[in-house]
Amino acid sequence: MKKLVACLAVLAMMSAMVSCEKTNKKNGKTSANNASSAAEVTSEKASNESETTTDVQNKDNDKKSGTANDENSNTIADTNNNNSNAENNDVSEIVGTWYEENALDSRSLTVNADGTYQLAYRGGGSRNGSIRIERQVLGTDGQVNIWYCFCDNENTELSRFRVVQGDDMATRLCSGFDETSMSFISAADISQISQVNNSDPKPVDRFIGGWDCGRCHIVISNIRPGNYSVDIHWSSSASEGCDWSYLCTYNEANDELVCEGMGICTEYADIGESTESMTKKYADGSAVFNIIDNGNLTWHDYYANQADGMEFTRS
């Protein structure tokens, strides 16, 4: 009987031990699985967060890059537009003074670097405006002909000219393609032409051409044998000024151009709507013009001593 009880006790203990081992194994497996699952979840969460952060950064970078590209594109476009506008309004080729050829009452034309101009009439008065450039493609070879369109203050075209290099190497503004067209010759070339046509230039030829001092501009031209025109434009502002027109002869003894009682002085003012107010101050002015030792020109106005102390240099 004791032996039977002892055997049953041993069997009970062995059964309990087997049950604990199974439970521990089961629990160990479950804990490992749980730890592995938790690690996988944590890794997946970190991966997702990393992808989300990277996507946001990429989107931000794309946005910034796109904005920068847009800004650069606009800047380039604006630069190109500005360059195009500057090119379309570039009148540097014709800046200076021009004298009308083959005309009894010749006019002087002054072109400024800002694209404006002033046309002065022989008998007094002037017209102001701006210049618009048009490019004409000729034939199939793509040759471009540039026209300078002279417009009034309302941008209405009055006349147009192209630059022509003559056989005498002088530069001209021509309104057409034949000899009957209106033309202006560069004042800087007038004295050079006189020297080419005369192997021994006359002293008076030194006077011919354009002269400047501040806002005052003088053009001297040989209009016919023995007679010289001196046209003066003096602007006191963009819309007001005064013009003088002298008919002179050359005094060889004193080496000077002299006008005796035939000078005309006219005041002008732009009063708006393409209208100018012209007032003739006098028509009996006298003046004398000299070239001094330093090569500059002086103008002595006997009527009002207008230019005393001024020296004019070549344009």
Radius of gyration of the chain from Cα atoms?
A: 46
The pLDDT value recorded for residue 75 is: 33
Considering 40-49, 175-184, 257-266, the range whose residues carry the highest mean pLDDT is: 257-266
What does the alpha-carbon distance between residue 168 and residue 109 come to, in Å, rounded to a whole number?
21
What digits encode the pLDDT tens for the residues 270-311?
A: 766 656 678 889 989 999 999 999 999 999 999 989 898 899
What digits encode the pLDDT tens for the residues 201-213?
A: 678 888 988 999 9
Q: Residue 47: which of 39, 37, 36 has the closest Cα?
A: 39
Backbone dihedral angles phi then psi of residue 295, each to the nearest 5 degrees: 90, 0
Instruction: Read off the pTM.
Output: 0.45
What digits encode the pLDDT tens for the residues 229-252?
A: 899 999 888 778 899 999 999 999
What does the alpha-carbon distance between residue 247 and residue 243 come to, in Å, rounded to a whole number?
14
Q: Please give the mean pLDDT across all residues of the chain.
A: 74
Give the model's confidence band at 133: pLDDT under 50 very low, under 70 low, under 90 confident, else very high.
very high
